[in-house]
Every structure is written in structure tokens, then in C-alpha cells.
Structure 1
Amino acid sequence: MPHRPRRSKLILLLLAWLTLLAVAGSLLIMTELQRVERQFHQAAGTLANGVQHRLHANEAVLSGLSAFLLAVDRDDYAATERYAAAVTAAHDHIYQVEIARRIRPHDAPRLAEGLRRNWRGEFALKTFAELTGRTPATLPPGADYWPILFIHPPLPDTLPIFGLRLETVDHLASTLARAHVKGHAVASPMFDFYEGDTGYILLQVVERSTDDRRTGAPNFFGSTMASMLVIKSAALLPAGERAALGRQLGIQAVLIGSEGMEDTLLRQEMDAGTALDRRLFAMLEHHERIETAGQTIGLQFTRQPHLQDVLTPQTVAILTLLLVAALAASSLLLRHYRALREAGIEHAHSAYLATHDVLTGLPNRYLLADRFASALHGWQRHGTRFAVILIDLDHFKDINDRYGHEAGDQVLCATSDRMSAQLRSCDTVARYGGDEFIVLLTNILDAGDALQVGNKLLAAISQPVHTSAGALPMSCSVGVAICPDHGTDLDSLRRRADMAMYAAKQSGRHAVVLSADTTA
């Protein structure tokens, strides 16, 4: 078997390799997520820049319109239409251009009559309540009228708005008042258009100087006007970028009023993805606040990353390579480990065969010599005596000749088992050759201990052995030699024990004999 430290090193190497591959895969996924997040913020920034450009364009257009009204001839309605047509053609987010003029209440009937006679026969001054059927707004006594006199383009759905008095419209009355005070463009709250959809109005009050005011017939747009841009909320974000992104982005745009009130301009829900997408990836968010002189808009963009956003073909290819590398490394290390394990088993088996008898499994003479060296070292250091006992089976050759080698092998194996059962774990019984066995008996006090063990072995071996040829009677002759009484090396002690064993055979076999004290 391979050593555990070697196996632990292989396991640690495999874990380190798999960890490295896992980190590489995680870094790849993180890189893809960063790419998705970067693209999200770039797309959100592009849309926000488009909104900012439109807001600045609104105020620039409104300022230009106001300057145009101050410069245009008093009755040049056609020139104003051409100017408004150029504006709406250049800026697709501007839904309409409208102009209202301020008139005193006592001038209103005369002005309305003049406009019906010279301009639009169906013209009439009207309140928002009259137009929509809502409850009339409460106006201060003597309040000026602000009727709408110009609309471009004059869409069929917006024709009823001609003559509508701005001060009677709830969401425009306060805007008109603030614009008159501030002197620059002011955004109205969000409202529903008369013809549908939603949006807001960017309004600026324009007033001619005293020197520019004419006497006689009044200017069509009067001395004080309200120039207005109607902004449709759905067109505020660049249509091209929104169409390209589809439902990937969630978009919410709010119009923030002067008092901090927020009106939702538009809302687009994002593709929320699957439950797995939401569990794996956090939702991305991007916030923008765009402020101009008269408009403040808050933008919130959201996106839920999807698994397919991260698992691009290139990423899948790299992850597949990493997986193949992980499997290949695991396979190679497993094969290497198996090879080491098999080599260890083979080595252990070879070492066992080199030191043990193949038939009985007992130690052979080489292992006996090693054990003898250890026992001798113990005697040299501590004076611990030990014995060499030589055992030879009686009439074993007759068993082989009469019953065959199979029965003889069975006798040898049974004898080995019986001897091993009678000895301690510190003792050694070895097959020295043929039917000859040597027992190394350690840690004895005197020869009496060795003789006692020899008699136990004689009794155990002398029991009949059941073989394929039937039960066979057994006996043996035992010779005992003591270290250091009869020698201090294996050859000397074996020779003395062999001489004692032959003495037992000569005395009639089935006996235990201690070597004589004299050297042979």
C-alpha cells in the first residue's frame, strides 16, 4: 500500500489544481459581469445624455422663439408658422409650439370679435371647465386673460384648444404665474393632453419694451406673450437607443417641480429574467439627475443580468476548456495514484515473499536472521536471554511417499498453525527447510522456560492431522539451545539445537532435548 503522506500530497495537489481552475472560472464570470455592468452604465449614460441634450434644446428653442416673437412684425403669422415648423422638424421630441397673449378683461370681447372677423370665424374665448366639463377654477377678480392664439402643428385633435385661457387651466395657472415672476423658462407639472398621451409644457413669458409697443391696431400676439413648447414624455428619451436596448433596461423618468414634487414622465419595465437569474445576479441600477434653468428630471435605469448575458459563446468555450482540464487533471492524478498504489502493493507482496515461506506463510530463514539479530542486540544491551528451538517432524518422508505431497503440504500447514498458536507475539517460528522449523524464543529466564515451551509445541504437534488422505498421526523431535550458554550466533545455536534434536530422535523420537553444555 502507498504511504498516507504520499496519498495526502496527491489529494492536496488535486485540490489545489481544482481550486485554481475554479478561481479562473470565477474570474472569467466576474469579468463577463463587469462587462455587462459597464455596458449597462454606458447605455444608461447615453440615454441620460440624450435627455440632457433635449432639455437644453428645449430651453434654447424656447429662448429663440421668444426672441423671434419680439422681432417679428406684428401681424406676421405666416413667419411664425414657418419658424415653428422648422423647430418641430428639427426636434422630434417637441410635440407642439403654442403661443398665448395677455389681454385685459375689458379688451377681451373686442379682441374675440376682431379675430372671428379677420382670422378664424369659429374663434371664441373659453375656459378649461367649458372645454372639459370640469368644475371651474376660482380666479381672482380682474385677472388677465391668456388665450392661446397659435398652435403648430394645428392637429385636428388640438383645434378646440384655440382660444383656451391658460389661467383657467389648473396645471398651467401656477406655471404662468411663476414664469411671469422669474423671467425665464418654467416647466409645468405633468398633465394629460386633451387629445391623449401625457407630457408637460415649458413656458416663458415674453414682454415687449415700452418703446416697441404700437398704437392703433394691436399686434396679433400683443405686448405680453407666453411662448410654450409642448413636450410629449414618451418622446423625451432618444427613440433609437431605446429601440436598440429593447426590454433590457428598466427606465423611470420623473419631472421634479420647484417644490420637490415628482411627476412620472415615463416608465418602462425591464425584463426581470428567471428566478435563477435573480438568485445568481444582483440587479444593476444607475441614477441621473439632470437640471437646467427651467427643467429638472430624475432618471433611474435598472437591469437584471441574465445567465445568457454572461455565458457568451467565448465564455462557454473557455469554461468548457477549464472543465476538460479539471477532468483531465483528476483522471491523470487518479491513474497516477492507482499506479502508485499497485506499485506499493506489488512491493509489499515482493517483500513478503522475500521474507516468508510461500506454503505456510511463516517467516523464512532471512527474516529469522533479522529477528535473531534483534534478539542478540537485546541480550548484548540488557542481558536478556533467548533460545533457539529446532523442530523436525517424525516420519514426514513416509507421509509424502505414501499419501502424496498434497497430504504432506496439509501436514506442514497444520503444524505451522499449531506452533503459531502456542507462541507469544514477540516469538518467531520460521520454516527453515523441508519439515524443519526453528522457533526463536525471546525474553526467557532460564533453560526451564525453553523446555516448557518445547513440550507445549510437542504436545500441540503430536495431535492427528486431518488431510485429504484422512487423519494422520503426528509426532516430532525437538532440540533446544540457549544463548549465551550454547553460543551467541545463529549458526552455533542452530547447530547445537540440531544436535539435541538428533539426540531426541536417537532416544526414540517424540521428545524434547536440551543441548549439552559442552561445545560440539
Structure 2
Amino acid sequence: MSKFKGGEWLLFGAIWLICALLVLSQWGMGEYRRLQDGFELAAHQAYAGVARRLDQNESVLSAIDALLLSREPFDAPALSAFSREMLPRYQQLYAIEFFRNVTAENRASFLREMETRFGETFYIRDFDVMGKRSWQPAPVRQQSLVVSMIEPDLPAASPVFGYDVLGDPHFAPALRKVLLSGQKVSSRPFDLYDGGGRAYMLMQPLFRQSAAESRRTSVKRELAGVVALVVFCDKLLQLPVDQSLPGSLDLSLLPKEGDGSEPLYERLHRFAEHDWWPVVTRLELRLPLNSEAQPFVLGVAQDVRLNDLALLPLLLRELFITLLLAAGGLIYKQRMALRRERSQADEELFLQSERASVTLSAIHDGVLILRQDRCIEMANPMALQLVEMPSEEVLGQPCHEVFRLLGELASEFAEDPISECFRTGLSVELPERMQLTTARGKVHFVEGGVAPLLSRDGVLIGVVCALRDMGRCASARRRRSKPVKPV
């Protein structure tokens, strides 16, 4: 391609660029669809795992309610035993707690019960869960919901006993909703007391039948307290181990109020070996979880990195386009070279033909070229004068219809020189006193010869007749020899 001109290089470069961009766009759309489909499949699998854990949370609360509904009085040991049995089964449950309903009427008895249990003075306390996280004695309130049971009962969690959850502004709105509706309600996420991460509480009220009212027709239930599941956000968003999900998924819990809300919790994937690759784009999907008690939206995101793309098909396609255009360029170059050679050959042939035509026109002999079928292919001006016919009536006509060559003293059946040349393929000298008779009957004495016209392979394809009008030549000699009279 070294002979390509600047414009041709620009043309092929533009064609290659357009084809490369078309291939790139087609490959990019296909890759995006492939990655998007794989991401959506993984997101829905992660969604199914999180939704299953939410259902497990609500099932545990419903089982606790059914366990304690018929027990009178409130059976705290049964709740504790049931909690110890449930916790190992569900990885997302950090703890199960019970908040005793403490009012002004039963406050003194509750404190004596707890002092007997712990063997020391017991205080109801407040804790700034979202602020300085410091303990302080709680004032006497008309109603308090005090932590009186924690499973697992670890030493690190002992300061939490006596915590008035209803007195904390962070939990108070959700607890009031629990008390008013009597249904399961989730709290806002918070940081665990021991620094173990972030969690939220799924709470449900527990009622018991009043002994004083049991004899009456209308049964009245009084609040025993609120049972709460402390749900570990990180374990809730853990990817299912029984499914081959990509480890690069980022999960987050979002509130259902609005799409633009800040996430309540994010579980980012751990750093992997391929994370040093540059990020091409980020895929995101938000899936509302079907739980009224836990009104969350699951956010799923994944960074698409350069190594996630199937680059080999793109490279093969681009290579194919490049090779195809290179082959097209070579073919174009060859055709242009052939065209130039053909043009040069045509020019040379034209020049040769033009030189031959000028030469034939300049000589004083009549020259006719006959084809193999003995039709006249070419006649110079002197030959047209000799046969006394215009070129329109001569070219393409059989020679015997235009002129005949006969010897003056030849017999009737003597072979004419043209037929002899066609028969033998050899040059034939015209005998003396050869007569040329035109179609109009005029006779000229001529001399000259007939020569064969051969192809490159030596095949006879015609003859050339060179005829000189002897009468014209004699007249010319007489004019040249005539003396000029003096003036």
C-alpha cells in the first residue's frame, strides 16, 4: 500500500473507523445486555435470600406470641429458653430482648424483683444511643419499657439491663406505634452497644389477660411488655452460600419512603484481586421487600470492571474488520494498478494507431487491410481515391464488390493475388501490368503486393494490399519533367 495517495489513506482510515465504531457499539450493547441480565439474576437471588430472612424474623416473633399467649402469669423463663433455641438457627438474629412494661403502679415491685435477681440495687436508666452513648439514671415516668431479658445473656450485655427503651428518642416513635397498633414494627438502625456493627429491632407487643377482669364478660388484655429481635444488618444482607453469586455485589438497606433516601446500612463486597482493574460502569437495582413490618428496599449494586468484559470477541471482530479492509485495500491497489497499466497500454495503442494512421495517410500508395472474411477493414485516403468510393461505401464491404485485381495478359481462370495470399499465407508480388477494376468499371494499372497479416500465435487473420497507381505516377513524372516557360 506504499503507493496509496493521501486521500486514499484518509478514505480507508475513515471506513475503518466507521466499521470499528459500529462493531464496538454492537459489541457494547451486547455486553451491556449480558452483564445486565447476569446482574439482575444475581440481584433477584440475593433478594430472595434477604426476603427469606425477613420472613424468618416475623415467624420467630409470631412463635413467641403463640408460646406466651396462654401462659399466666407471664413466663419469662419459657421466653428465655425459646430464645436460646431459636438464635443458633438464624444467623441474622443478634439477640432477643424483652422490654418489661413498667408503670407507676408496678415500678416498686419490678425494682424489687430485679434486685433479687441480680443481688444488688437495680436502677432504671437512660442511654443516649445516637449521641454520647452514656448511661444516666432515668426519671420516674408514667410508663417505661425496660430491658429485663437478653438472650444470649453475655457479660458484655449486662449494662443494658434496666435500659428504658421507651425513653430513648431514637426508639420511642417505633415503640409508640407498636403500642398503638399492636402489630410488628421495625426501629431505625443503630450501632450495637458492644461495637459489633449495625442492627435494627423488630418489635411486637405481648399482652396477657388480667386476672381481675377474667371473671367479667368482656375480656381485657393488659400489656406485659414488648419482645424485640435485634437483627444484625450485616448478616441479614449476607449473600446466600448455597448459590453461586458473584462476590462483587454491594447490598444496602434503604427506607421505602423515597428512592433518593440515604441507605440505612451498606454491605460492601470485600476487596478482591480484580478490584485494581478500572471501573467501566456501575449497575444498580432497587427491589422493594414485601414486608409491612420491615419496610425496606434492597439496593443491589455492582461495579463492572474492565476484566469483566468479554474483550476477546471484540478484538477478533476488530481484527477481522482490519484484515477485511486490508484485503480490500490490496484488491483496490491491484485494480488501480491494472487500470493504470491498461490506461498506459491504451494510450500507447492509440499513439501507435495514430502514428500508423498518419503514416498511411501521408504515403502515396493505396493501402487496404482485409479481414479473414475478405471484407475491407481499413483503407487509407489514397486507396479511396484509387477505388473512387467514399469510406462509408468501402469499409466492411467484401473486396470483390469494391475492386478486382486482374492481370492484363492472364488467362480467365488465373488466381488473383489476394486469394493466393490467403491460400498460401505468403507475400505475393503483383505482376506487371496488373489491372485494378473498380466497382464503377474504371481500370487502373497498379503495382505493389499483398502481404499476410498474422496474429501473435502465427494465425492468418487478414492481408494487407499495397497498390500504387502507375498512371498517376506517370502523370506526376511528366509534370515534374515538363520545362517551365520563361516569362
Aligned to 1:268: 268
Structure 1 gaps, min length 5: 1-7, 216-221, 382-490, 509-520
Give 1:87 deviation, angstroms: 2.1
Give 1:320 deviation, angstroms: 5.9
Q: Counterparts of 1:376-455 in structure 2 under 5 Å?
A: none
Aligned to 2:225: 225
Cα deviation, 1:383-417, whole Å, max 9, x if unaligned, reads xxxxxxxxxxxxxxxxxxxxxxxxxxxxxxxxxxx
Using the alignment, how far apart are the partners of 2:257 and 2:13 within structure 1?
A: 64
Using the alignment, how far apart are the partners of 2:478 and 2:20 within structure 1?
A: 77
Asked if the contact 2:19/2:321 (under 8 Å) is kept, the reply is: no
The 1:129/1:199 distance shift into structure 2, 3 A limit, reads closer
Aligned to 1:90: 89
Give 1:50 deviation, angstroms: 2.1
Give 1:200 deviation, angstroms: 1.2
The 1:289/1:130 distance shift into structure 2, 3 A limit, reads closer
Asked if the contact 1:146/1:166 (under 8 Å) is kept, the reply is: yes
SS at 1:245's partner residue? coil
Asked if the contact 1:125/1:165 (under 8 Å) is kept, the reply is: no
SS at 1:231's partner residue? strand
Asked if the contact 1:355/1:364 (under 8 Å) is kept, the reply is: no
Asked if the contact 1:204/1:226 (under 8 Å) is kept, the reply is: yes
Aligned to 1:253: 253
Give 1:372 deviation, angstroms: 7.1
The 1:288/1:107 distance shift into structure 2, 3 A limit, reads same
Cα deviation, 1:69-119, whole Å, max 9, x if unaligned, reads 3245757555433321232222111111111121222422332222332x3
Aligned to 1:178: 177
Aligned to 1:44: 43
Aligned to 2:287: 288
SS at 1:98's partner residue? strand
Aligned to 1:199: 199
Using the alignment, how far apart are the partners of 1:234 and 1:51 within structure 2?
A: 11
> Which one has the bigger helix percentage?
1
- Which amino acid counterpart does residue 236 of structure 2 have in structure 1? L
Asked if the contact 1:18/1:326 (under 8 Å) is kept, the reply is: no
Q: Counterparts of 1:369-380 in structure 2 under 5 Å?
A: none
Number of aligned residue pairs:
369
Aligned to 1:239: 239
* Larger RCO, structure (CA 8 Å, separation 6 or more): 1
The 1:276/1:184 distance shift into structure 2, 3 A limit, reads closer
Using the alignment, how far apart are the partners of 2:362 and 2:135 within structure 1?
A: 117
TM-score (norm 1): 0.57
Using the alignment, how far apart are the partners of 1:96 and 1:344 within structure 2?
A: 94
Using the alignment, how far apart are the partners of 1:291 and 1:335 within structure 2?
A: 68
Give 1:303 deviation, angstroms: 3.5
Asked if the contact 2:237/2:252 (under 8 Å) is kept, the reply is: no
Using the alignment, how far apart are the partners of 2:358 and 2:137 within structure 1?
A: 120
The 1:267/1:276 distance shift into structure 2, 3 A limit, reads closer
Corresponding position: 1:344 with 2:345: no
- Which amino acid counterpart does residue 309 of structure 1 have in structure 2? D
TM-score (norm 2): 0.60
Give 1:350 deviation, angstroms: 5.5
Structure 2 gaps, min length 5: 1-7, 216-221, 368-377, 385-389, 392-465
Cα deviation, 1:218-243, whole Å, max 9, x if unaligned, reads xxxx9512010111222221234799
The 1:176/1:204 distance shift into structure 2, 3 A limit, reads same
SS at 1:116's partner residue? helix
The 1:275/1:160 distance shift into structure 2, 3 A limit, reads closer
Asked if the contact 1:128/1:169 (under 8 Å) is kept, the reply is: yes
Using the alignment, how far apart are the partners of 2:207 and 2:339 within structure 1?
A: 100
The 1:372/1:52 distance shift into structure 2, 3 A limit, reads farther
Corresponding position: 1:113 with 2:112: yes
Corresponding position: 1:308 with 2:303: no
Asked if the contact 2:253/2:266 (under 8 Å) is kept, the reply is: yes
SS at 1:160's partner residue? helix
Cα deviation, 1:422-481, whole Å, max 9, x if unaligned, reads xxxxxxxxxxxxxxxxxxxxxxxxxxxxxxxxxxxxxxxxxxxxxxxxxxxxxxxxxxxx
The percent of aligned pairs where both chains have the same amino acid is: 21
Aligned to 1:152: 151
Corresponding position: 1:355 with 2:356: no
